[in-house]
Chains A and B, each alone.
Chain A
């Protein structure tokens, strides 16, 4: 009994491998035929031999029957090696769809750990994996979704030291990061490695998507479009500006679509105009497609700059001549006040407890003030200090905001993190609104008030 079952089992296994071999053979023929008429896209290494298991035929059937994909497309996906930089709001959905679609090798690089403030948008992480490295958390989810791809974890930041080495193992990179410094680094390395970049970003309720260096040495790169970085103070992250989960999710999903198009492109993409897709969730027409410039002849990354010593090379990245953080101006905290002009949340708590009459001025915007506020605080948003026109007498404009306030009491200024409040403190002092210089900034803002637990439980957001 046992032996007959075993024999049957063996026979079936043999039959399966015969069929798989036959299928692989057939698809290789198709592949060869298609290669004759259409050269393969650069860098998608067609020579890597792959086969699909019967389980995979079933798994990918719904996308394989699309003429845009077909068996050739599925094989290209399986041969492809995609690197996702950043396992956050963009990287999560992009990774899920690419893993699901059957990308052969999926590398993910991120140095962060999962926090519960990530979970409204970083949908492949989970509450039970808070504190776990994002890369590990992501791969846990992805393996369960599709065990076939080769998942490569890189639990480290992408830096000038490791970028060339890491990116050398991939045919395509998805820029799912959150700061211009790393976006320039990804760009420069991708240009050197001849790999296309699918770049997306999102903030608040808006998103942007652009495919760069595609095809390599034809399409414009990040530096062609943005030769100079924005001033550091204009760079706002999701933590400060806020982000609607599905907005960044949508952009990540669109990155997966563009990646699939690049990987399965057959024939090679015609040299067309690069477009940038803008998404504004609350805009009158949410999607906009913009025609972008082409490659810049004098681009220091992908072109031939007039001064050739400016050209970015493997060496200039490796030996540390390229300082991306300095190039983008870092992201230093605001420091405009002297020590004596600032007090800690603990000191402010003492002021409250002592019952001294004072004014607590909260300069967060109305939305944030609505989420939580300290008792008795007056809300005058920071933007109102910034919107007094230049030609107005600035001092008068600021004074008028406090006409009804008694002027004989100390003033404490608070914001979310302790940056805006310093600037407002400085302005109030310069405008001489409250005589006697008794205006103080509360260090670390509402966030520090909550974190320190100085007044018991207080929401942290």
Chain B
């Protein structure tokens, strides 16, 4: 077991606190370590891989990834929450840092060039809710915690955009890790993505109280 990155500096009034979903992500990435390292072992022709995390929050997943899974990579991350953007950079630095980690403040991956990403890490706002917060109201209130959690209809409003744009953003050898809860209907999503030519695999799941969380791998 690799240790969980230190997040003692994080202000959880402003940034999503690492919870069971985050820890499931870390545990399952650890099981994916040899798959990932093998897939990206040769950087000489295709270049060094780019790892993108959407919705960085505290930055714990990216930090874990650069410390233990794939140190030789270019790391990019996004968040709409300005506090999360700063915090994620601090978390990386507080845990020995990496050569290359930049954060974009944006909605999902707006502003990123197409065909850029080799590894996508996404612990989405997956909780079903009547409505999805808008970032403009979060900007006014400076309250971001609901935004990190609530995913609109079926909890899929943000994840659906990501899946629909995956083809444009990922490079040919790209692999995406996305977390779902049971009410997101991941089996249906897996079937739809398989029909669209993706190779889809559930890499693990965990029952947490009344919820079943699973992480799925989408690769070309």
* Binding partners A and B: no
